[in-house]
Amino acid sequence: MLLGAMSPGQSFILVARTAVSSSRHAALAVSFGMGVGCMIFAITALTGMYSLLSLVPWLYTALKTAGGFYLLWLAFKMFSSIQFPIMLELTPTAGLSMQKAFITGLVTQLSNPNTALVFSGIFAAVLSHKFPIYLYLLLPTIALAIDLAWYSLVAYLLSSDRPRRLYLGYSIYLDRLGGGLMAFWGGRLIVN
């Protein structure tokens, strides 16, 4: 689960960008949203989401398409923000509210149906069909803790002054790259 959280993807880009362009608190709220989304995927995997998506293929297609469009929307937002460079003086107080940051993190995590399949695959491979009941509580809690810890570390490190200034110096290029990756992942979800 830790390696999955640490792999680069839309979640990392969102937390990193929020940390440097908004505030540490907003990035931590996004991180918490990511962790809750991961916990939800762990719960759904334990309760048979993989089986459901295998039996109802159109549901998986609908989830992928919705997730793809959400990522395209995030890419559009990143590209449109390029026209309005971030002002360092405004950054610590400007930005997302805690509630909006949390929801953005949660929706971004839940818009990736591949995470559900990864959890389902890992749990199917590692757990037997009969496993202790306490794992129904422990595994989602571990999933929350791992995602929250990793993305909080990213948020903390990238919201520090030096990384923030470095980002702001290259923000146009980094936003183009991040928006391009979001658009690529969104388009890939829709096409596949």
Does residue 30 or residue 115 have the better pLDDT?
A: 30
Extents of the domains making up the chain: 9-85+94-191
Across the range 37-53, mean pLDDT stands at 80
pLDDT in tens, 95-132: 678 999 999 999 988 887 767 766 766 666 566 667 77
Take residue 134 and report the two structure tokens written for it. 């306490």
> Of 39, 32, 17, 171, which Cα lies nearest the Cα of 115?
39
Q: Compute CA 106 distance to the chain's CA centroid, rounded to the nearest angstrom.
A: 7
- Residue 25, pLDDT > 60, answer yes
pLDDT band at 28, cuts 50/70/90? very high
Nearest to 101 by CA among 161, 180, 63, 155: 155
Give the residue, 152 or 8, on which the prediction is more confident. Answer: 152
- In this predicted structure, what is the pLDDT of residue 91? 41
Q: What is the pLDDT of residue 55?
A: 78
Whether 42 and 139 have beta carbons less than 8 Å apart is answered as yes
Mean pLDDT taken over the chain? 79
DSSP-assigned letters across all residues of the chain: -HHHHHS-SHHHHHHHHHHHHT-HHHHHHHHHHHHHHHHHHHHHHHTTHHHHHHH-HHHHHHHHHHHHHHHHHHHHHHHHHTTSPPPTTTTTT-S--HHHHHHHHHHHHHT-HHHHHHHHHHHHHHS-SS--TTHHHHHHHHHHHHHHHHHHHHHHHHTSHHHHHHHHHTHHHHHHHHHHHHHHHHHHHHH-
pLDDT value for 89:
42
pLDDT tens, residue by residue, 144-169? 999 999 999 999 998 888 887 887 77
Does the global pTM surpass 0.85? no
Quick one: which of 147, 92, 95 has its CA closest to 119? 147
CA distance 183 to 163: 25
Q: Higher-confidence residue: 35 or 56?
A: 35
Please state, in angstroms and rounded to a whole number, the distance separating the CA atoms of residues 44 and 18.
Answer: 28
Structure tokens at 10: 């839309």
Token couple for 108: 């971004």
Res 20 pLDDT > 50? yes
